[in-house]
């Protein structure tokens, strides 16, 4: 089978990382074309990897007959047009989150893809490919903790780029916990509230940081998230899942830590930690924390592309659902009131 010929559109931090990933660590794929709003940037990167062409206009890169599939790592506002071009060309695309930057255009993309009868879009919610998140998901599937009841999440960044505002904490950072909630519990989020404690003096002027988000899901589960993006410390992403019969936490550099009723002494309220100690390293950024997850994400996507299958990772619907929750969360942030998430039903779009 020939390698999949990939165009990478947008070669900034994330795009350049994917170029190295595809070139050095992905089987069955080759970077054929690079494209960026600043072609010089693409030229410089192309010179370091060799064997690929630079195409100035991203839409030409997508339509290029020498390209089988596209990695979109341009900024969110560029995604709508570029995704539409991928659908028009019938090419699979791995689109970094967000799908698009608003709910209406996200829904349009869902409808457009559904009308083709093929799943071409994967959204870059890489946590679904992280080993620890996969372990949490399997624990739920195995019923080890009975039914899951709630989750507590922490999402801390040492710093954010210039221009990052309060709503971007929702749309750029909290969006990952939105997807984690939907992934773990397999149901939609129905309400969202944002609580704003006293702001960190180290946050840029006007940026409301930290934020505490509270989600309620269709079946009444609760998820709370501390999103704090200017800690000045390190990159910390933790999720603790609490079920009827026990709990488990990931993100402590200890692997998954489980607490459950002692099977021997069950009934006496006894609990034991199955593994782990406190302490360990904290990753400096998402590149280290989720490097393995990005590798798996891209490899599985490439495998699906080569088989000619529908992509099987998080798709356009997941991107739309995340956009709908984030829109409600931004309103919740602005008003201080809990908000209902407004979404169309999936069943109303055949093929979505």
Ligand X SMILES: O[C@H]1[C@H](O)[C@@H](O)[C@H](O)[C@@H](O)[C@H]1O
Ligand Y SMILES: NC(=O)c1ccc[n+]([C@@H]2O[C@H](COP(=O)([O-])OP(=O)(O)OC[C@H]3O[C@@H](n4cnc5c(N)ncnc54)[C@H](O)[C@@H]3O)[C@@H](O)[C@H]2O)c1
Footprint of ligand X (CB under 6 A) = 157, 160, 172-173, 176, 229, 286
Q: Are 34 and 98 in contact (CB under 8 A)?
A: no
Residue (of 317, 255, 257) closest to 292 by Cα position: 255
Restricted to residues 245-304, the positions that interact with ligand Y (CB under 6 A) are 286
Q: Least distance (Å) from ligand X to the CB of residue 33?
A: 24
The one segment of 6-14, 191-199, 250-258, 328-336 that binds ligand Y by CB under 6 A: 6-14
CB closest to ligand X, residue no: 173
Q: Least distance (Å) from ligand X to the CB of residue 208?
A: 15
Token pair for 31: 């970077």
Partner interacting with residue 319 (select from ligand Y, ligand X, none; CB below 5-8 Å by kind) = none
Partner interacting with residue 157 (select from ligand Y, ligand X, none; CB below 5-8 Å by kind) = ligand X
153 vs 257, which CB is nearer to ligand Y? 153
Token pair for 173: 């950072």
Spatial distance between the Cα atoms of 284 and 19, rounded to a whole number of angstroms: 21
Q: Which residues pair with 123 in a beta bridge?
A: 95
CB closest to ligand Y, residue no: 12
Restricted to residues 214-233, the positions that interact with ligand Y (CB under 6 A) are none
Block residue for tokens 């590149």: 287
Partner interacting with residue 313 (select from ligand X, ligand Y, none; CB below 5-8 Å by kind) = none
Q: Least distance (Å) from ligand X to the CB of residue 172?
A: 4
Restricted to residues 56-85, the positions that interact with ligand Y (CB under 6 A) are 58, 73-76, 78
What DSSP string describes 46-98? Answer: HHHH-S-EE-SSHHHHHH-TT-SEEEE-S-HHHHHHHHHHHHHHT--EEEPSP
Q: Is 13 in the site for ligand Y (CB under 6 A)?
A: yes
Q: Least distance (Å) from ligand Y to the CB of residue 253?
A: 18
Residues 22-61, one symbol each (x = binds ligand Y by CB under 6 A, - = not), give --------------xxx--x----------------x---
Query: Inter-axis angle of helices 103-116 and 316-335, to 10 degrees?
Result: 170
Partner interacting with residue 36 (select from ligand Y, ligand X, none; CB below 5-8 Å by kind) = ligand Y
The one segment of 10-18, 21-29, 138-146, 336-344 that binds ligand Y by CB under 6 A: 10-18
Q: Given candidates 6, 55, 126, 330, which one binds ligand Y under the rule CB under 6 A?
A: 126
Q: What are phi and psi of 226, to 5 degrees?
A: -90, 115
180 vs 242, which CB is nearer to ligand Y? 180
145 vs 294, which CB is nearer to ligand Y? 294
Partner interacting with residue 76 (select from ligand Y, ligand X, none; CB below 5-8 Å by kind) = ligand Y
Token pair for 52: 């690929």
Integer angstrom CA distances of residue 231 from 93, 127, 160, 195, 210: 34, 21, 10, 18, 9
Token pair for 260: 């459950």
Give 352's contacts (C-beta < 8 A, 6+ positions apart): 110, 111, 113, 114, 316, 317, 346
Partner interacting with residue 58 (select from ligand Y, ligand X, none; CB below 5-8 Å by kind) = ligand Y
Q: Are 29 and 302 in contact (CB under 8 A)?
A: yes
Query: Inter-axis angle of helices 39-49 and 13-25, to 10 degrees?
Result: 20
Partner interacting with residue 246 (select from ligand Y, ligand X, none; CB below 5-8 Å by kind) = none
41 vs 258, which CB is nearer to ligand Y? 41
Partner interacting with residue 173 (select from ligand X, ligand Y, none; CB below 5-8 Å by kind) = ligand X
Is 154 in a helix, a strand, or coil? Answer: strand
């Amino acid at each position: 089978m020939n390698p999949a010929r990939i165009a990478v559109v947008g070669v900034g931090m994330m795009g350049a990382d994917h170029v190295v990933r595809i070139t050095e660590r992905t089987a069955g794929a080759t970077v054929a074309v690079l494209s960026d709003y600043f072609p010089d940037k693409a030229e410089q990167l192309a010179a370091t990897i060799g064997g690929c062409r630079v195409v100035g206009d991203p839409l030409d890169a997508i339509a290029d007959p020498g390209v089988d599939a596209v990695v979109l790592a341009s900024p969110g506002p560029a995604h709508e047009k570029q995704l539409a071009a991928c659908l028009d060309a019938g090419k699979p695309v791995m689109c970094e989150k967000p799908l698009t930057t608003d709910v209406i255009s996200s829904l349009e993309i869902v409808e457009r893809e559904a009308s083709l009868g093929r799943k071409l879009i994967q959204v870059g919610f890489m946590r679904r490919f992280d080993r620890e998140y996969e372990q949490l998901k399997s624990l739920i599937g195995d019923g080890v903790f009975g039914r899951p009841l709630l989750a507590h999440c922490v999402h801390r960044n040492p710093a954010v780029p210039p221009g990052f505002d309060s709503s971007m904490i929702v749309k750029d950072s909290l969006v990952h916990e939105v997807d984690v909630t939907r992934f773990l519990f397999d149901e939609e989020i129905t309400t969202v509230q944002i609580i704003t404690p006293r702001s960190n003096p180290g946050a840029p002027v006007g940026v409301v940081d930290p934020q505490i988000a509270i989600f309620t899901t269709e079946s009444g589960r609760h998820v709370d998230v501390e999103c704090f993006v200017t800690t000045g410390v390190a990159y910390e992403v933790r999720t603790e899942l609490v079920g009827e019969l026990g709990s488990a936490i990931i993100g402590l550099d200890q692997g998954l830590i489980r607490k459950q009723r002692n099977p021997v002494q069950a009934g006496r309220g006894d609990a034991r930690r199955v593994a782990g100690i406190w302490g360990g390293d904290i990753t400096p950024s998402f590149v280290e924390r989720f490097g393995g997850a990005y590798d798996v994400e891209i490899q599985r996507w490439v495998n699906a592309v080569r088989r000619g299958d529908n992509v099987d990772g998080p798709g356009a619907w997941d991107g739309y659902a995340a956009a709908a929750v984030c829109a409600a969360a931004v309103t919740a942030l602005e008003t201080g009131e809990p908000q209902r998430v407004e979404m169309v039903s999936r069943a109303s779009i055949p093929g979505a």
